Amino acid sequence: MDPTDAAACSIARTLDVVGEKWTFLILREVFRGVRRFDDVRVATGAPRQVLSERLASLVDRGILRREPYREPGQRPRHEYRLTDRGFDLYPILIAMLAWGDRHLPAPDGPALRAAHRDCGADVRIALRCEAGHEVAALRDVVPRPGPGARRAQTVAGSSGSRV
């Protein structure tokens, strides 16, 4: 895949929207229900300017929406909530959580879990193909060119043997 194809690659497009640390940390907080500017700022450690800009960008791109609210005795304020489109980013965060839990475990165990609402057990990523098969091993997932690929190149051909 050369940069021409990279433009058609969904991973690259996703990265254009969320491919940096602060954005992911903000999404983590919003997923957890932390929605106010200063709460997010304290939780993530993001500088105000960075946070302000990222929140605006996420709203622009339809991932978050600003919801006005007002507590008695205070001025009107806004909180940030996920759109459906934003909610669909959750698997990325769950996958990151899983990788970190497994490969970079914290001494006291994780601070955050993703749990199944009904039974409370931890939620994990599973892989399934559209024909309905369980894909048990990551090595059973292979990259293939899709319809938007521009060259007739074999994906794994150019650098020798398989992954």
Partner DNA sequence: GAGGCTAGGTCTGCTTGACAGACCCATCAA
Partner DNA sequence: TTGATGGGTCTGTCAAGCAGACCTAGCCTC
Site for DNA in 73-102 (CB under 7 A): 73-79
Sorted by sequence, the CB contacts under 8 Å of residue 34 that are 6+ apart come out as: 40, 43
Q: Which does 48 bind (CB under 5 to 8 A by kind): DNA, its own copies, none?
A: DNA
Per-residue mark of binding to DNA, 108-137 (x: CB under 7 A): ------------------------------
Specify the amino acid at residue 90: Y
Site for its own copies in 107-126 (CB under 8 A): 107-126
Task: Give kind and range of the element (H or E) at residue 69.
Answer: strand 64-69
The residue within the footprint of DNA, chosen from 72, 109, 147, 157 (CB under 7 A), is 72
159 binds DNA (CB under 7 A): no
How far apart are CB 56 and its own copies at their closest, in Å? Answer: 19
- Please state, in angstroms and rounded to a whole number, the distance separating the CA atoms of residues 55 and 37: 9
Nearest to 95 by CA among 58, 55, 125, 122: 125
